Structures are given as structure tokens and as C-alpha cells.
Amino acid sequence: MGSQPSSSAPGSQSSPDHATPGPLPIGPPFDSPESVLEGMRALEQALRSRRDRHAIFLTAYVVITQEVKQRIERGFFQDDSWTARYLVSFANLYRHALADFESSSFIAVPKAWVTSFNTSKSGIWSFHEGNRGK
């Protein structure tokens, strides 16, 4: 019997990795709140097209980032420049973890993100399993 890697029957693939259609548009490091929004929107769309449950995180991330960016522009924070740098730095931490995960460099990915990324692919997680070894 020949293998059929392109089968589209539900449950026909033995690993979520085989269901991944091409690389995500991770792109270069973010350098501004605008580039964070642009990059996160692209990632959100790519994950939605994969039907990856992790897209919901990016949906929330985009909404929150939009709000913080608007508040920075209105001078809302005590130090808007610092807040903008923090927003960009935090987004780059996520971007880096996702890039490492996608390239199978799992050792470089913080444990919390490994759990999140694996759960989004499998849809299965329990508090007990996620906290093993602590």
C-alpha cells in the first residue's frame, strides 16, 4: 500500500506537523508599534488559514496592541516612548519563540510557549500535563 501524504480525509495525518502548509510569515524583528501590528496581523491571517487554534492569541494580541498604540499616540502613558519600546520588545520575544518553534529549535523556546504552541496544534491540554516536572 502506498502512502498518501496529500490525503485530505479528517484524521488521515499522523502528526500535526504534516498539516502545516508552508512557513509562517514571521519576518524580521519588529522595530515600531506599527511593524508589530503589521507583523501580527500577517501571522494571525496565516494561522487562521492553517486553522491553527493559536490564531486566537494573535487576534487578542492585535486588539490589545492597537489600543496601546492609540494610547501612546494620545500621550496616555507617563512615558510613552518607554511604553512603545516595551511593546516592541515583548512582541519580539513572542516572534522569536514562534520562529524557534516553527524551525523545530524547541530547546530555545520557553516552556510556556512550547505548551501553548503544541496545544494549539493538538487541541489537547490539561493542567496536570502542562505542569509536569515542576
Predicted TM-score (pTM) of this structure = 0.73
Residue type, 74: R
Is the predicted pLDDT of residue 3 greater than 90, yes or no? no
**Nearest CA-CA partner of 99 in 117, 119, 120:** 117
d(C-alpha 21, C-alpha 82), whole Å: 38
CA distances from 4 to 7, 13, 19, 132 (A): 6, 9, 13, 36
Per-residue pLDDT, 125: 53
Domains of the chain by residue range: 28-130
d(C-alpha 52, C-alpha 121), whole Å: 6
pLDDT in tens, 15-74: 444 454 678 999 999 999 999 999 999 999 999 998 888 899 999 999 999 999 999 999
Per-residue pLDDT, 75: 98
pLDDT in tens, 13-22: 434 444 546 7
Q: Mean pLDDT, the chain, as a whole number?
A: 81
Mean pLDDT on 69-81: 98
